[in-house]
Structure 1
Amino acid sequence: MRVTIYSPEIYTYGSMLVGGILKEKYKVHLIRKPDNILFLKSDVIIFSLYSTLHIIDNKIRELINFIKRANKKAKLYVAGCISTYPEIILNELNVDGVIIGEGEITTPRILEGDEEGLAYREGDNIIVNYPKEKPSLDHPLPLIPKDIGEQNIRGANVYIETHRGCLGNCTFCQVPKFFGKEIRSRDVELVVEEVKEFKKRGAKRIAISGGTGSLYNFKKSVNREKFYELLEKLSSIVGKSNLSVPDMRVDYVDEAILEAIKNYTIGWVFYGIESGSDKVLRDMKKGVNTKKIMDAIKLAKDLNVKVAGSFIVGYPTETEKDYLLTKDFIVDAELDDLFVSIAEPIPTTELCSLVLKIPKEENPTFKRHEGIYRRLNLTESEARCFDLLIHGEMWKTKPRPLTKELYSLFLNEAKSQGRDIKKITELIFKYKEYLIT
């Protein structure tokens, strides 16, 4: 049997992982660009999709329709993190089924005819067979493409998975929904072996993450020696200038963890700050307040670890006062870098349910901005995104001059995000019956 896994534009870790498992029995090809010859020769085609936007992407829709017309014998499945909402996929895309959740166990079984972990249409009904067990993380080496060294995901060629699960309750995040709250960690030596293989295949810069890097091997009242050991061993393979542990919760860092990051990696942390308003942080169920966040920033700086932070604007409960508090927070924080996103109502998250309960005219994603950027014809979310990008640049430790080119870059980024979030919001309203909780 010939299997083709298509992961649009980026070789996701999940697509490489499942490819590595399937290659032990089948002839498997992993691609990030469409290959019609492969599609026509394949018996099974898996679209590994990682963004809600993929569901409404006309290029993906047309590609699926072409495959269904040209290769009528092939089975075509969708997998990936968007599989948490199979009803939307099966209504929008002409596929044979959706592989639900973590696919290491279910994908090989589905290829053999088992229906556990598979959602599919049966007449007018949608049948969803949820997996009954979680897979072991002791799996074969991933299927690593020859051009992995050409890939760039936030500066890294690949993100290596060290663990799954998250203890958080953030309303905008689907990680606990997809992987659960229990922290399941991989053995240090398995991660080491994998990084060696990625390096051999051409990957130079490695990032390690499971959503929050410091949750690796996390257990209450247990020291973090395994985390330090992991960083030390990986650093010895690729060099500290090529290793990063970017994603951190501020409530799961301490001096020892930051010292390890300084000693064994590029020396950066990426905090999910999201807002400078304690009210919005409570609404987001972040589990921390601005004092806790500022303390974590100060601790990192005191240890000479550089700090980047992410911020979310346009959260449905964010008022003008809340937004101004975020601007004030950025002034006080003096971050080394920052990233701004418009709140995305990912289906099945609490944020999605909240957005579905709010009239569109009250949603910042649709509400017209009437302030200082009125002439730019932006929504309120777009205006705050644009404004915070400019403001954040001014208050970085090493700001850049606001040239016409940088101004245009920020404006286009805000408009692009705004268009995408509008599309996703329209989609979830279309399937409100499946999503509201």
Structure 2
Amino acid sequence: MRIKVISPDIVTYGAMVIGGVLREQGHDVSISHFIENTTAEILLLSLYSTQHLFDDRIKKVIESHKKRGGRCYVGGPVSSHPAMVLGELSPDAVVIGEGEVTTPRLVRDGPSPEMQGIAYMEEGRMVTTGPSSPAPMERPLPLIPSDIGKQNIRGANVYIETHRGCIGGCGFCQVPRYFGQEIRSRSIEAILIEVQAFRDAGANRVSISGGTGSLYASEQGKMNVPAFVDLLSGIAGIMGRKNLSSPDIRVDCITDEVLDAIRDYTIGWVFFGIESGSEAILRKMRKGADVDQVRDAVRRCRDHGLKVAGSFIVGYPGESQDDYQKTKDLIEELSLDDVFVSAAEPIPKTPLADLVLSTPQHENPVYMPHTGEYKALGLSVAEARAFDLMLHADLNKPVLSMADDRTFDLYLAEVRKQGSDIRRATECLLRYGK
């Protein structure tokens, strides 16, 4: 059977994995990031962002494909709220959760109430069969697009999955809700074979993912540091240390050995999800780490010769001006090498989404008009704080980065887009509920 897999704008690793599973079962499978019509019998859309639900290009491709008699299925992180997907895009079915087992069955048999892990419409009502069972961690090689070397995701061509699950429970994050909090790891041998395949296909830099890289091969929340070191060493032996990154790590999941391995076998960057300088907001976020742990983690990274980046979230429901000021103060104190700022986005089926749904619009920072120094720009409180924090972070990097007109305009456009996207997602949540 001919199958086209589309992962809009970026071919995600998950889309490649599903493509590889289908290819092994004998299907004629192609994969692309272009949103385009296909003559294949089945169209699979792997959607990783709520914003994909509002993309007219995607809606038109689905409509056109179904008119020609083709079947269309949607999977990926958006599947956590199947009612939204079915209501906005009208595919034939949604694969809920991990799709390695469910998708081949759906392709072969079509949707039915006996099939676990799907949702579909029947006689005007939604039928759901519950989430799929956790997928096996060993699987065929992914279906790698021919232009993988041109893809850029935070500097890497691809984020290779080493494990699934996260011990954390951050209220804004979908990972522990999608994959669970138990760590399920792949074998080092399988990972290295895959890395070689990506290199042979033209990948120039890979990064490892899985939520927190250092949790690879951990059991019952206890890190397996030797396995993590072997993992980085093995990948670096194939790609070269300058072509490997392992950035995403929790501040409470580092050891001296972990930091030495990152220094010795990767480009030497660590990326912490710091999120806020306010202890009250960190508790509201369910972050599971406090500001002193952040300070200690950044100091230890620098003692090991590593560069440190951090992400921050502003405009969380309930965030006061005092909470925001504490975040500004922490950024000034830490003087991070790079900073990423975003307004709080309610990803479906997360505690943040529930909080947003229960917060009156006039109390939600993404709707509240900003009345301070950026009033003339017409920003919301969340947008103004994101904009202000981006400028503030640049002024407090180790190497001073002065904002010029171009930077000012780029940051302004970015926060306006964030605000617009978040309001659209919030209104969609309100339409479909929890």
Give yes or no for TM over 0.5: yes
Distance 1:349 1:249 in 2: 19
Moved over 3 A (4+): 220-223
Q: Deviations over 1:40-75 (max 9, x none)?
A: x21111111000010111221122222222x12x11
| CA positional deviation for 1:116 | 2.1
Distance 1:105 1:197 in 2: 23
Distance 2:401 2:131 in 1: 50
| CA positional deviation for 1:104 | 0.7
Q: Deviations over 1:182-221 (max 9, x none)?
A: 1000000100000000000000100001011111111255
1:252 aligns with: 253
Query: Per the alignment, in what secondary structure is the counterpart of residue 247 of structure 1?
Result: coil
1:357 aligns with: 358
Alignment pair present for 1:343 and 2:344: yes
User: Identity over the aligned pairs, expressed in percent?
Assistant: 47
Distance 1:326 1:35 in 2: 43
Kept in 2, the 8 Å contact 1:110–1:116? The answer is: no
CA RMSD, 1 decimal: 1.1
Distance 1:221 1:344 in 2: 31
1:305 aligns with: 306
Kept in 2, the 8 Å contact 1:214–1:257? The answer is: yes
Stretch moving more, 180-189 or 117-126: 117-126
| CA positional deviation for 1:407 | 1.0
2:368 aligns with: 367
Kept in 2, the 8 Å contact 1:314–1:365? The answer is: yes
Q: How many residues align?
A: 428
Q: Deviations over 1:382-412 (max 9, x none)?
A: 0000000000000011121211111111111
Query: Per the alignment, in what secondary structure is the counterpart of residue 112 of structure 1?
Result: helix
Q: Which runs of 5+ in 2 are unaligned?
A: none
The letter of the residue matching 2:107 is L
Q: Deviations over 1:121-167 (max 9, x none)?
A: 11122111124521111000000111000000000000000000011
Kept in 1, the 8 Å contact 2:215–2:223? The answer is: no
* TM-score of the two chains, using structure 1 as the length reference: 0.96
Kept in 2, the 8 Å contact 1:3–1:43? The answer is: yes
Superposed, 1:412-427 pairs within 5 Å as 412-427=413-428
Stretch moving more, 198-207 or 417-426: 417-426
Distance 2:224 2:210 in 1: 19
Superposed, 1:238-277 pairs within 5 Å as 238-277=239-278
1:63 aligns with: 61
Distance 1:223 1:106 in 2: 31
The letter of the residue matching 1:56 is F
Distance 1:401 1:285 in 2: 34
Query: Per the alignment, in what secondary structure is the counterpart of residue 195 of structure 2?
Result: helix
Distance 1:280 1:94 in 2: 38
Superposed, 1:145-294 pairs within 5 Å as 145-219=145-219, 220=221, 223-294=224-295
Distance 2:137 2:224 in 1: 22
* TM-score of the two chains, using structure 2 as the length reference: 0.97
Distance 2:19 2:279 in 1: 43
1:144 aligns with: 144
Query: Per the alignment, in what secondary structure is the counterpart of residue 311 of structure 1?
Result: strand
Alignment pair present for 1:89 and 2:48: no
